[in-house]
Structure 1
Amino acid sequence: MPLLLFGLLLSMSDPLYRYAAARTPAFAFPACQKAWAHRGYAAAGGENSLAGIAEAFRRGAAGVEIDVLFDPELDDFVVSHDRPYTLFDGQPLRLESVLSRFPRSGLFWLDAKDLRKLSPWTAHQATHRLSALLERYGLTERAFVESSQPLYLSWLADQGVHTSYAISPNDRKYSASLYRLHAAVMKLAYAFVGADAISMTAARYTPVTAATFDEAAILLSTVNDAGMLRYLSARPEVKVVLTDEDHYAVTACADRPRR
């Protein structure tokens, strides 16, 4: 019986996915300026640093992606890609310090690196803390949280937080039938979350994957070639492309001024 139910759900994955994508709430992705800073502008102060974030916004980036890790003992998120935490002046950088510093500077992509590894109780604590921080600094409508854990993302979505479901499709490695099965599972998870977008590495965004997930807003990382950035930005379904370089002037709207 469980296998029969699962098979039925898989058979419905495409219409459920399309229905969820059509109901996605509006989010302030800039229509023209899609090149965002990957972990800030790292050449100024290092990755995930206050200086790097400030410099990215100063150079005109519409948004900045940063990595965050939840620390249950602090009941707070730390801005760092890994543990042990990256330290600045001997101290970990808390997410609250970032959000309070840049409440009106632009948009944020928060990559919740360890959300999928948390226990349900700790994840409940983490999602409520993150929702509270975004609300406190007026960023609920100008930030989204990325994770590959659909259940915990759904908890954030239920609190009004914008979310992106991180996926890892690979049509070049797997057979067509296995790829379709994997895609069906990912579509079901996206529909369950009620996510605003789907995110993946740019290398996985092949023509096959683009056609498979053609209804959702797509967020990509990380592209440092200006020509490829222009190509991807021109695709209407692609809303953000992260870059390590100062390619923030790349625009999808050549006939319109940059934001």
Structure 2
Amino acid sequence: MSWKAIALGTVLVIVIAWNAAVYFADRQIAAKRYDGVYDSCHKVWSSRGLYDTKQERNSLTAFRRAFEAGAHGVEVDFSYDADSDRFIIGHGHPRKGPDGRTVYTEKEGGLFTLETLFRELGEEHAFWLDFKNLDHLSSEETQKAIRRLESIAVNSNVHDRLYIEGSNPLRLSLYTDAGFKTLLGTFPLADSNPVASIVLNAYKMIYAVFDITGIAMNYGSVDKPIYGENTRKQLGMIPAFVFHIPDDPSLLQELVHNSHVRVMLVGRDISIDRFAVTACGRE
């Protein structure tokens, strides 16, 4: 047998296997139930709260402002500190101090934790939790973090209103197993990219294999969207939590009436209030 015949046969096997995997993923996705996922007409949440300065992002004051302005949910950046068994809120990566201990950025005079946030503002509100160091925790630390989060969530009565985002499906699915709703953080290519569908199908396979609630992804730009028409069609029924959405009125109206878009974060690295944009009252 010539090398050309072998190469051709190998390509055919790969193509057949790939299409079979995509078919399996689509069947799994179509069979899943999504009725427990956030499905309110108030889809526009706040990213890190409403803040006046960069230092005020992810602070209790910023989150309180967002809720008072009409947001039904907020996106929160946080890390788990295994030494102190605390979930510490903040976007930046912590650093090591002279004594080797981890040093976190303080908020309003002290460390701001999920426990404090839920105690102060948890009632009736929802939270998109961007787990910054999910991938860096050991198996033992992960189990410890899950137990701690379960305790905080139950005591604050927010368990069913938490959506935990991470890009490691193996680690993330452990939180789903513990009863939390989870979001697979994805990094697809622009909708117009010729290989975008291949990358997206790979994410769909991961989503189908692991027990994960929804997908989180960047919208892209108005002229070069990532969450464009082709991507939306490929994702099908998967609940989408979309961030960095351009502040374009017609685009916001289009997305807010898309039943598969569950949560929207408008703008990038800016404090913005678009909570009045809703799908409420539409027949």
Provide the TM-score with structure 1 as the length reference.
0.86
- Aligned partners of 1:246, 1:113: CA distance in 2, in Å? 24
Could you tell me which amino acid in structure 1 is paired with residue 170 of structure 2? Answer: L
- State the match for 2:50 in structure 1: 41
Please, which runs of 5 or more residues in structure 2 have no aligned partner?
A: 1-12, 95-103, 221-225
Could you tell me which amino acid in structure 2 is paired with residue 250 of structure 1? Answer: V
- State the match for 1:242 in structure 2: 265
Q: Which stretch shows the higher mean deviation, 236-245 or 150-159? A: 236-245
State the 1:74 CA deviation: 1.2
Equivalences, count: 251
- Aligned partners of 1:152, 1:21: CA distance in 2, in Å? 24
Contact 2:43 2:256 in 1 (8 A): yes
Contact 2:81 2:88 in 1 (8 A): yes
Question: Larger C-alpha radius of gyration, 1 or 2?
Answer: 2
Contact 2:58 2:90 in 1 (8 A): yes
- What's the secondary structure of 1:83's corresponding residue? coil
Provide the TM-score with structure 2 as the length reference.
0.80
Contact 1:10 1:184 in 2 (8 A): no
- State the match for 1:222 in structure 2: 244
Could you tell me which amino acid in structure 1 is paired with residue 151 of structure 2? Answer: A
Question: 1:37-77: CA deviations, max 9, x gaps?
Answer: 01111238821100111111111101111001111111111
Could you tell me which amino acid in structure 2 is paired with residue 54 of structure 1? Answer: R
Contact 1:38 1:222 in 2 (8 A): no
- Aligned partners of 1:164, 1:33: CA distance in 2, in Å? 19
Contact 1:40 1:47 in 2 (8 A): yes
- State the match for 1:200 in structure 2: 217
Identity %: 28
Which of the residues 166, 170, 174 maps onto 1:147?
166
- Aligned partners of 1:41, 1:191: CA distance in 2, in Å? 35
**2:76 matches 1:66:** yes
Question: 1:62-111: CA deviations, max 9, x gaps?
Answer: 11110011111111110011123331233221111111112314111101
State the 1:11 CA deviation: 2.4
Which of the residues 113, 133, 139 maps onto 1:120?
139
Could you tell me which amino acid in structure 2 is paired with residue 36 of structure 1? Answer: W
Describe the shift of the 1:145–1:24 C-alpha distance in structure 2 as closer, same or farther (beyond 3 A).
Answer: farther
Written as runs of structure 1 = structure 2, the 5 A alignment for 1:53-132 is 53-84=63-94, 85-132=104-151
Over the aligned positions, Cα root-mean-square deviation in angstroms equals 2.5
- Aligned partners of 1:246, 1:210: CA distance in 2, in Å? 25
Which of the residues 234, 237, 243 maps onto 1:212?
234
- Aligned partners of 1:254, 1:248: CA distance in 2, in Å? 15
Contact 1:24 1:196 in 2 (8 A): no
State the 1:18 CA deviation: 4.1
- What's the secondary structure of 1:87's corresponding residue? coil
- Aligned partners of 1:10, 1:158: CA distance in 2, in Å? 29
Q: Which stretch shows the higher mean deviation, 63-72 or 180-189? A: 180-189
- Aligned partners of 2:237, 2:23: CA distance in 1, in Å? 10
Could you tell me which amino acid in structure 1 is paired with residue 76 of structure 2? Answer: I
Contact 1:171 1:208 in 2 (8 A): no
Could you tell me which amino acid in structure 2 is paired with residue 253 of structure 1? Answer: C
Question: 1:174-199: CA deviations, max 9, x gaps?
Answer: 533xx343223211211233222111
Please, which runs of 5 or more residues in structure 1 have no aligned partner?
A: none
- Aligned partners of 2:237, 2:27: CA distance in 1, in Å? 6
